[in-house]
Amino acid sequence: MTTATIAGSQVELNDEGFFEDPEQWTEDMVPELAANEDIHELDDKHWQVIRFMRQEYFAHGTGPTVRALGKTSGVSVKELYQLFPKGPAKIAARIAGIPKPKGCI
Amino acid sequence: MTENVVILGGGTGGTLTANRLRKQFSRGELAITVVDQDRAHVYQPGLLFLPFGLAHGEDLIRPRHRQLKKGIDFVESDIDRVDVDGHRVLLAGGQELPYDVLVIATGARLVPDETDGLTGPGWMEKVFTFYDLPGATGLEQALRDFEGGRLVVNVVDMPIKCPVAPLEFCFLADWYFHERGIRDRVQLTLVTPLDAAFTKPRAASMLGGMLEDKGVELVTEFNTGEVDGAAGKLVGFDEREVPFDLAVVIPVHSGAAYVGRSPGLGDALDFVETDPHTLQSKVAPEIFAIGDAANLPASKAGSVSHFEGEVLVENITRFLRGEPLDASFDGHANCFIETGFDKALLIDFNYEQEPVEGHYPGPVGLPLLKESRLNHLGKLMFQWFYWHSLLPGRDIPGVGADMPRAGKHIDRAPRSAPK
């Protein structure tokens, strides 16, 4: 676990860069978190996915997988990869301040 | 008063649940109805062996109703939907089945159409799956005709049934082409969305090493966007490409289609949200789920259904008596992993404990996470246990529902962190 300063606030991240406590996340951290993932311009679709990830996390205790995102977020899997080229579920979860989605067993 | 239990699905979980319940309750107490869309119960672990000529299709199939004890009704029908609020199942023909307890045991289904191109040009010619009987049968011929080139095994996305099967396929393919004397002309590649050969770190590193030893290339974190059969290539969403002459693809899985048609019953992938310890659904207290149909963080494997059976029947009993449920299912899974040349590995794990070395079911027993001939014989013998012990709902001597800790070298391995 490491402590990082994002948008002037201290947050706890695990070894893979996911938030330990999603409650520490605020919307004003998003541009900096996104920049850390090489995403420098955020459009409405990015925000739609980020907000959806948090909503799903608080409803179900885990963020959705890419496939579930494609079916429920209103953004297709193809578009999701254009928005978050290095892996939508993982990257969007990091930016949305939620733990790594429990996709694979 | 007679209460009604309706079990949707006459596969591993549905059959063993029905049989265990029939032993527990008299016909006066409980009417048990099993519904399935067809009559053929397939021994799914056998599908792995079929493409290599090590099993024959007809030997893997038995009639579903013959696996059910006397006093269990079997209905062959498609399911239209479940009316959760009305406590009834609507069958495709218009028939209605009211229930006091509903068990969802319809497993997972393959959805090849969800991947661009997968069922397009080349499907069942140079692109196959071995996850169903027609695919495994077609692949047997394709392997026999294969004289060399790139053979790619591709897992499109998780979750899949039996997550070790794609690895086993690679190991057996290595053996098969050795036997045919053309191994040096075949390039084997496993392409997976995972970041390693398997989901659990310790087994992943062991299995990854075995792939390397056998000369199987491993491509990780590959998210298949398209299978281009005409051009002979997999195309990733990140635009990486993997060329093939023959592709063995494990399509994405969903729950049964009627789950999606039943408002409130399933999640985005049509699996039923289920309590991981009681097996009661989160949809309604009188709905339970077993096996692949549930969204549990456990492997989708027959052994999991087997271990779930005991807790499920206990909890259905408690529910009918109005007692609190038993939250004791621990996610126990147990899998033989065929590694070729008449050897196999065994892994045994649960929600918290990842597979480690040692012996199963106790300090004296089958070696864990280690290749041996004994495990290969265990894997072959298991088919007998499946029909004669597991489906009838008998306990296998020495094999309990809870994962045994004795015999495992647990202190040497960290507990797997929740993902």
Put simply, the answer to whether A67 touches B157 (Cβ < 8 Å) is yes
Nearest to A45 by CA among A92, A10, A86: A92
Q: What is the pLDDT of residues A29-56, one digit of tens each?
A: 999 999 999 999 999 999 999 999 999 9
Min distance A87 CA to chain B CA atoms (Å): 8
Residue A22 lies in a domain: yes
Contacts of A103 in chain B (CB under 8 A): 158, 419
Q: What is the pLDDT of residue B417?
A: 44
Q: What is the pLDDT of residues A8-36, one digit of tens each?
A: 999 999 988 999 999 999 999 999 999 99
ipTM summary value: 0.81
* From A1, A59, A104, A105, the catalytic residue: A104
* Residues B302 and B45 sit within 8 Å (Cβ to Cβ): yes
Residue A101 lies in a domain: no
Active site includes A104?
yes
Residue A102 lies in a domain: no
Residue A31 lies in a domain: yes
Residues 6+ apart with CB under 8 A from B332: B303, B304, B307, B348, B349, B350, B401, B402, B403
Of A64, A81, A105, which has the smallest distance from its Cβ to B159's Cβ? A105
* Residues B272 and B294 sit within 8 Å (Cβ to Cβ): yes
Min distance B270 CA to chain A CA atoms (Å): 10
Put simply, the answer to whether A66 touches B163 (Cβ < 8 Å) is no
A103 confidence band (pLDDT: 50, 70, 90):
low
Phi-psi region of B203 (alpha: psi -120 to 50; beta: other; left: phi over 0): alpha
* Angle ∠(B145,B147,B150) on CA atoms, nearest 5: 110
Q: What is the pLDDT of residue A104?
A: 45
Residue A104 lies in a domain: no
Residue ranges covered by each domain of chain B: 3-109+254-321, 112-251, 334-412
Q: In whole angstroms, how far apart are CA B308 and each of B99, B317, B327, B408?
A: 21, 14, 11, 21
Q: Among residues of chain A, what percentage have pLDDT more than 70?
A: 97
Min distance A90 CA to chain B CA atoms (Å): 11
Q: What is the pLDDT of residues B203-260, one digit of tens each?
A: 999 999 999 999 999 999 999 999 999 999 999 998 999 999 999 999 999 999 999 9
Put simply, the answer to whether A81 touches B268 (Cβ < 8 Å) is no
Domain that includes residue A24, residue range: 2-96
Put simply, the answer to whether A102 touches B194 (Cβ < 8 Å) is no
Strand partners, B116: B226
Put simply, the answer to whether B157 touches A66 (Cβ < 8 Å) is yes
Q: How far is CA B153 from the centre of its chain?
A: 18
Nearest CA in chain A to B195: A104
Min distance B300 CA to chain A CA atoms (Å): 9
A:B CB pairs within 8 Å = 49
CATH 3.30.230.10 is right for the domain spanning B3-109+254-321: no
Q: What is the pLDDT of residue B412?
A: 59
Q: What is the pLDDT of residue B341?
A: 96
Bigger pLDDT: B46 or B1?
Answer: B46
Put simply, the answer to whether A85 touches B238 (Cβ < 8 Å) is yes
Which of B118, B155, B157, B259 should be substituted to probe chain A, the one whose Cβ sees the most A Cβ atoms within 10 Å?
Answer: B157
Q: What is the pLDDT of residues A58-75, one digit of tens each?
A: 988 888 888 999 999 999
Q: Among residues of chain B, what percentage have pLDDT more than 90?
A: 93
Number of domains, chain A: 1
Nearest CA in chain A to B225: A78
Measured CA to CA, the distance from residue B70 to residue B22 in angstroms comes to 8
Domain B112-251: homologous superfamily in CATH: FAD/NAD(P)-binding domain (3.50.50.60)
Of B223, B268, B298, which has the smallest distance from its Cβ to A105's Cβ? B298
What CATH number is given to the structural domain containing A16?
1.10.10.370
CATH topology match: B3-109+254-321 vs B112-251? yes
